[in-house]
Amino acid sequence: MQQKLSDYVADFLAAQGIRHVFVVTGGASIHILHSLHDRPGTTPICPHHEQAGAMAADGYARATGGIGCAVSTSGPGATNMITGISGAWFDSIPVLYLTGQVTTFRLKGESGVRQFGFQETEIIPMVRPITKYCVQLRDPRRIRYELEKAVHIARSGRPGPVLIDIPDDLQRAFVETDDLPAFESEEADSTPVPAQEEIRRAVDLLLRSERPVLIFGHGIRLSGAVAEARALAERCNVPVLTTWGAKDFFSASDRLNAGTFGTHGTRAGNFVVQNADFVLSIGARLSTRETGSPLSSWARGARTVVIDIDRSELNKFAAFDRKLDIAIEADALSAIRAITQAIDAPSNVGLPDWASWRAEIADWTQRYPASAISSPAQSTIDPYVLIDEISALAPDDTYFFVDTGCAVAWSMQALKLRGSQRIFHDFNNTAMGWALPAAIGGALAFPRKSICCVVGDGSLMMNIQELATLKHHGLAVKILLLDNSGYSMVRQTETQWLGGVNVGTSTESGLGFPDFIKLAQAFGLETRELAKSAGLRGELAGIFASPGAVFARIEIPAQKGVIPQVAFGFPIEDSEPYLPREEFFRNMKVAPLPASLNRVD
């Protein structure tokens, strides 16, 4: 039968289970938007900025575990999506991005001019480095093929975003749907599986270790292996460190949960990985945020086994002077199953107990908690006390969408997850302004869950217009605005390296902010204002108990930063505020580096 191409696109999206598509309309995307509006099963959501639409689709995909979709017009509409696309790319999130384009007869082609059609922009070469696949449709009969190919690529192997650029005249063309060529992958399943000999060698290193630790990363969730990973940890009885992307794999009270680690990790977690004699990392990218710099200082006393689906991620270690003992290119699920099978092989006499090592980790966790002690004399709100209270009061099914800067560092260090709670962040792009639109995506995907957006004042300003989108759709998101008068994390960097001189990071040094309460009320939101430690728990309880959306401005003293935090040039076990040298040395089983030895109390 004949069908308008944009109608075919709308039907395809519905068939993929995409119930919400984030669309900012425009002359070159109007046909897709109208087709979505006319089709049952998929609802167009219209944010006020394409960046927010791209991020909402990202948050939607993360929350559902499926694929998200965002649509923009040509030119500035398409370029506005780039930051959101980058977040999906770096975190391996499958999102289908559709951009409108000028009509084919207005494309500049090889003319050499910068632009021929109005708002013509070559989006394909711009997004090629941050997508798994991108193409401009030039033949309407190829629409089925390109849609199926893009979605297949987005979901396969290491997932990621894809983009199809569709000229306006092709969107309104009619196609014979029965004659559209389909996409058929010519490759067999290319997901890498682990070599059995490498798995046996890795298990042998584990069995011979005295201080082992497992590191779990977001790749485990992407492969659908969270339950198997937890079972592996229990089977081995080995402590687990998590990257930010895997923090919600375990409840905070789980006996094997050793916390987060890295430049903005916990002090206890950093002592664990830096004192380990064996590290098995599965599905973790191990960026410099986790390892610190130089890479050679990370887990330097440990035999290291890293399992990753991407060979380039494995090769980087040698390139940056940190040789791995075993590098296994494999999907996390197949690797975990192979490791479990190898551990249970009849030739193994049993696993060591490692009880003294677990006891030492428990001691570090007790002595160096990621919390603050609230003093009765303290009238202002300490951010770590705040996170403790949020941990205690948020419902068991809360999905936290957290923005960058101090908000994410405080949350990843101190938020104590439980029940079915999840925590989301654009972990590697870590763009300001991500959390609000992503929370909107999460709330649309799961309208019955408790959705909480934790965002700083600087980050909120990046996409504050989406408060209107949240209100328009009646989404019961709890927005906790941590207002510390600017960019507190950057101010810490200025203190470390620039003599504490603030430029563009505070209200005194160039930033202007509105009255957030009045602004939120103008958007029609219920508001709360918290500025004192007294009554904090009751105020937060009321916020979470409210049936609708609540915008809460929580005043945090401007001088409050991230504690601990690793300064550049120091290994991650030696973070600020520095421990007295005698105490620090007592905690180290691995020889300290010169930066730590030469530091004077």
Report pLDDT for 348. Answer: 72
- % the chain with pLDDT above 70: 99
User: What per-residue confidence (pLDDT) applies to 113?
Assistant: 87
pLDDT digits (tens, 9 = 90+) for 543-552: 999 999 999 9
- Tell me the mean pLDDT in the region 301-313: 96
Q: Which of 149, 179, 209 is the last residue of a domain?
A: 179
3-state secondary structure of 399: strand
pLDDT tens digits along 12-36: 999 999 999 999 999 999 999 999 9
Res. 190: pLDDT tops 80: no
- Predicted pLDDT of residue 601: 66
At 582 the pLDDT is 95
Instruction: Assess whether pLDDT exceeds 70 at residue 272.
Output: yes
pLDDT for residue 88 is more than 70: yes
pLDDT at res. 27: 93
Distance from CA of residue 55 to its chain's centroid?
11
Residue 543 within a domain = yes
Burial 54-88 (b: 16+ CB within 10 A, else e): bbbbbbbbbbbeebbbbbbbbbebbbbbbbbbbbb
**Residue 269 shares a structural domain with residue 306:** yes
pLDDT, position 372: 67
Instruction: Give me the CATH number covering residue 273.
Output: 3.40.50.1220
Measuring CA to CA, how many Å separate 69 from each of 41, 50, 186, 441?
14, 12, 25, 10
Overall domain count for the chain: 3
Q: Does 170 lie in the same domain as 205?
A: no
Per-residue pLDDT averaged across 387-398, rounded? 97
Reported confidence tier of residue 471, pLDDT bands at 50, 70, 90:
very high
Which of 154, 179, 204 terminates a domain? The answer is 179
- Which of these, 65, 82, 93, lies nearest to 158 by C-alpha position? 93
Is residue 118 scored above 90 in pLDDT? no
CB 243 within 8 A of CB 217: yes
Inform me whether the pLDDT recorded for 1 exceeds 90: no
Q: What confidence tier does 536 reach under pLDDT thresholds 50, 70, 90?
A: very high
In terms of Cα–Cα distance, which of 210, 590, 353, 53 is closest to 44? 53
Residues 352 and 206 in one domain: yes
18 occurs within a structural domain:
yes
Task: Provide the token pair at 515.
Answer: 């009255």
pLDDT tens-digit series, residues 475-489: 999 999 999 999 999
Tell me the pLDDT of the chain averaged across its residues: 95
Whether 192 has a pLDDT exceeding 90, the answer reads no
Q: What is the torsion angle, in degrees rounded to the nearest 10, for the CA atoms of residue 374, residue 380, residue 382 and residue 383?
A: 150
Across the range 90-110, mean pLDDT stands at 93
Same domain, 152 and 10: yes
Residues 221 and 313 reside in one and the same domain: yes
- Domain membership of residue 522 (yes or no) is yes
CA dist., res. 21 & res. 46, Å (int): 8
Residue 599 lies in a domain: no
Q: Does residue 587 form part of some domain? A: no
Please report which confidence band the pLDDT of residue 371 belongs to, taking 50, 70 and 90 as the band edges: confident
| 173 shares a domain with 204 | no
Burial of 310 (0-12, 13-18, 19+ CB in 10 A): middle
**pTM over 0.85, yes/no:** yes
pLDDT, one tens digit per residue, over 415-469 is 999 999 999 999 999 999 999 999 999 999 999 999 999 999 999 999 999 999 9
Same domain flag for 145 and 237:
no
| pLDDT for position 366 | 94
Average pLDDT over residues 380-386: 95
Asked if 171 and 206 sit in the same domain, the reply is no
* Domain span holding position 227: 196-367
- The whole-number pLDDT of residue 314 equals 95
Q: What is the mean pLDDT of residues 88-104?
A: 96
Asked whether residue 377 is domain-assigned, the answer is no
Say if residue 578 is exposed, middle or buried (CB neighbours under 10 Å; 0-12, 13-18, 19+). Answer: middle
Of 179, 208, 238, the last residue of a domain is 179
pLDDT bin (cut points 50, 70, 90) of residue 106 is confident
DSSP 3-state percent helix, strand, coil across the chain (nearest 5): 40, 15, 40
**Residue partners of 490: CB distance under 8 A and separation at least 6:** 405, 505
* 214 and 99, same domain (yes or no): no
Q: Distance between CA atoms of 426 and 429, rounded to whole angstroms?
A: 6
In this predicted structure, what is the pLDDT of residue 178? 93
Same domain, 397 and 510: yes
pLDDT of residue 345: 82
CATH number at 117 reads: 3.40.50.970
Query: Quick one: which of 313, 310, 355 has its CA closest to 330?
Result: 310
Residue 155's Cβ-side half-sphere holds a number of Cα atoms within 13 Å equal to: 16
Residues 166 and 214 in one domain: no
Q: Bigger pLDDT: 117 or 382?
A: 382
Check residue 139 and give its pLDDT.
97
Phi and psi of 337, rounded to 5°? -65, -40
Q: What is the CA radius of gyration of the chain?
A: 25
Q: Are 94 and 17 in contact (CB under 8 A)?
A: no
* pLDDT higher than 70, residue 357: yes
Residue 362 and residue 389 share a domain: no
The percentage of the chain sitting over the pLDDT mark of 90, rounded to a whole number, equals 89
DSSP code at position 210: S
The answer to whether residue 119 scores a pLDDT higher than 90 is no
In a domain, 574, yes or no: no
For residue 261, being part of any structural domain is answered with yes
Q: Would you state the structure tokens that stand for residue 564, as one six-digit string? A: 């601990």
pLDDT per residue over 249-261, tens digit each?
Answer: 999 999 999 999 9
